[in-house]
Structure 1
Amino acid sequence: MNKLIVITGQTATGKTKLALDYAQKYNGELINCDSRQIYRYLDIITGKDITTNKYYVVNKNKNSSIGYYLLSDRTSSVEERRDLPAGRQETAGVKKSLAKKIWLYDIINPDQYFSSFDYQRCALFIIKKLLEEDKTPIIVGGTYLYLKHLLYGFDTENIPPNWNLRKILSKKSVKELQKILKEQDAQSFNRLNNSEKNNPQRLIRKIEIVMYYDRHPELVSGSDLSFLRKQESRFRNKFGMTYFLNKKLHIKNLKIEFIALKFKNKDSLRKTIEKRVEERLKLGAIEEIKNILKMGYTENDPGLKTIGYKQLISHLRGELSRDEAISQWISKEIQYAKRQYAFMKRDKNISWRDV
């Protein structure tokens, strides 16, 4: 039987640990679904569970590479880790026989843009590969937009990435991107929710789509496209998650187990986030940022616009004290966890578990 396991939920709820348990039980391999962990060099602050410094590449092009790391069957504590080059950590005493692969860490550099469309293509490549090897793909991570488009598809999935356009737009501020999209297609901008309107990656993908249709007006003329979209939507609603993936993978019997983890209460959420931020500072979060900046990357690059990096870069530039930066980092992580739950709770296919 073809089986896919999805483990998502709020940040800091122990998703990777649970995924490793499932990997042992079902002969599985993990596939990262965290939009912050796709970037190379962003290790400590994003919380990559890397237990070896060796990265095995299986597919590579000029813009990205797909490969895997090996993880142990347990989550290591701060005391059990030792420093490795470029901010990596290795767990002492990792047993090779228990190590499991995790795919889709370190796909691109911090200055590159990566959309949910790009993620879908990479994840489908790995899922198909693992199923052919009679293994169980286990998607793990809290980026629901990636999951949504992987499991349910989206109308614009066949629009290819425009790398030159992305490179130009990635240097723009959120306000500049908003202005460009409004000028190109005000309706597309108005359909975005507040979070999407302030998400540079989402804005860039929307601009990319609008400009693609501007070059291919035949794709949006007439009633054919509208009919096909409505027909596709009816199939998704009727057959659920399996419809899209069965179609993409050319199989008929895929079974999906969709699990999400959430905190029991706000107090538990705050304490866990505070502890995790403290641990990552001890592991060398500030040094990690210094090393990345020395490599020539800037705070305007897509990868460094994420939580933790923005606040600590402001501290390094003298705009915030260390305590102010840490406080803002914690607050942003808590807000992010709340947004995650707000989006995910709308998905009726999710089976929730409290931690």
Structure 2
Amino acid sequence: MHNTSEVLKQNDRIIITGQTATGKTKLAFDFAKKYNGEIINFDARQIYKKLDIITVKDIDKKKDQFFLWKKVQDFEIGYYLKDGMKLWLYDIVFPNQYFSSFSYVSLCQKVIEKIEKEGKTPILVGGSYFYLKHLLYGFDYEVPPDFSLREKLEKLSVDELQSILKEEKKEFFEALNESDRKNKRRLVRRIEIARYLKKNPSFEKKEKEGLFYKVEKFLGLRFSDKNLLRKKIEERVKKRIKMGALSEVFNLLKEGYQPSDFGLKTIGYKQLIPVVLEKKDLNEAISLWIFAEVSYAKRQYTFMKKDKNIEWKEIN
């Protein structure tokens, strides 16, 4: 069970992260009510508009009204008002728009500043540690995105990207783990940085010196055993199917979104799209979806447990 008896005061910064399906958002609501808080999302799937059911957004679009605060470039920053609580950084971009951790950090910093100016408590909640890591500890290199370069590189294969990166900056490739060496987005980003450094030789690496943001409570939720993890994820996936996950995929494709779009390459959509387009077996797709979610939850903890600032709570 969650233990929320920690001694905190209003305006303390709070972060709740951890494995999928552990009840992070519910705990965030509890803290927000107790400490006059506003919730900031850092789930990489929930930043996409129209991806609601499969991504498990705790928002009822029929009654929870969206208020636009400001537009930054092509991104809409605003909040949903749910039971009197402000929920920030949901529905920032459309499924076919690229969105990076660099962009997330820029937007999140603006929202945190606004919340704190109003004397409220920022409560960050989500499971996308990549976003959180860059917000809290910064980037190795604060290199802005080069969208024209990305467009060219994304047409290449993993093997071709690996070869380019080895040629551009071999030490970048060698520093990647096995998973990242096969991840096109990671390879493209490293090539982008390598090219930028070549053009700007005086550009320096940013050294990490602990937390960039002072955080009073940094909680991580994880399952006490793998059987419970699987059980909870199975329950969640089956609930999403009953709520209309397949119809959500059908409607997205009908609107013209493609399986190759950024938002539709995420877990759940990847497994259900073949059911709609190729008439694949739904039960098999559900099994693949559950397997993908379980694997993701395990990877989440593997990455997060390296962060010694996280205080872990077991869910049993």
Gaps of 5+ in 2: 1-9
Residues 249-273 of structure 1 show CA distances to partners (whole Å, capped at 9, x for unaligned) of xxxxx44210010111111101100
1:162 to 134, 146, 154: 146
Deviation at 1:171, TM superposition (A): 5.2
1:91-102 equivalence runs, <5 A: 99-102=84-87
Match of 1:55 in 2: 66
Greater fraction of residues in helix: 1
Select which of 276, 280, 304 maps to 1:316.
276
Cα offset for 1:312?
A: 0.6
Whether 2:5 is the aligned partner of 1:21: answer no
Indicate whether 1:291 and 2:251 are aligned.
yes
Counterpart residue number, 2:239 = 279
SS of 1:129's partner is helix
In structure 2, C-alpha distance between the alignment counterparts of 1:204 and 1:23, rounded to whole Å: 38
The reply on whether 1:144 has 2:129 as its aligned counterpart is: yes
C-alpha distance in 2 between matches for 1:316 and 1:168: 30
User: Partner of 2:4 in structure 1?
Assistant: none
Query: 1:296 deviation in Å?
Result: 1.7
Counterpart code for 1:68:
Y
Query: Which amino acid in the other structure matches residue 292 of structure 2?
Result: K
Q: CA deviation at 1:286?
A: 0.9
Shift of 1:332: 0.4
Instruction: Answer yes or no: is 1:203 the counterpart of 2:187.
Output: yes
* 1:133 and 2:118 aligned: yes
Query: Are residues 1:260 and 2:220 paired?
Result: yes
In the alignment, which residue of structure 2 is the partner of 1:78? none
TM-score by length of structure 2 reads 0.89
Give the alignment's TM-score, normalised by structure 1.
0.80
Cα deviation for residue 203 of structure 1 reads 2.8
- After TM superposition, give the deviation of residue 106 of structure 1 in Å: 1.0
- Identical residues among aligned pairs (%): 54
The code of the aligned residue for 2:92 comes to: I
Q: Secondary structure at the match of 1:142?
A: coil
1:198 and 1:304, CA in 2 relative to 1: closer, same or farther beyond 3 A? farther
- Are 2:312 and 1:352 equivalent residues in the alignment? yes
For the residues of structure 1 that align with 2:71 and 2:89, how far apart are their CA atoms? 12
Corresponding residue pairs, total: 304
Which among 7, 21, 33 is matched to residue 12 of structure 1? Answer: 21
3-state DSSP class of the match of 2:312? strand
- The answer as to whether partners of 2:15 and 2:125 remain within 8 angstroms in 1 is yes
CA change 1:106–1:192 in 2 (3 A) is same
Matched-pair contact (CA < 8 Å) for 1:112–1:170? no
Alignment check: 8 A CA contact 1:114 1:201 kept: no
Gaps of 5+ in 1: 73-98, 220-224, 246-253
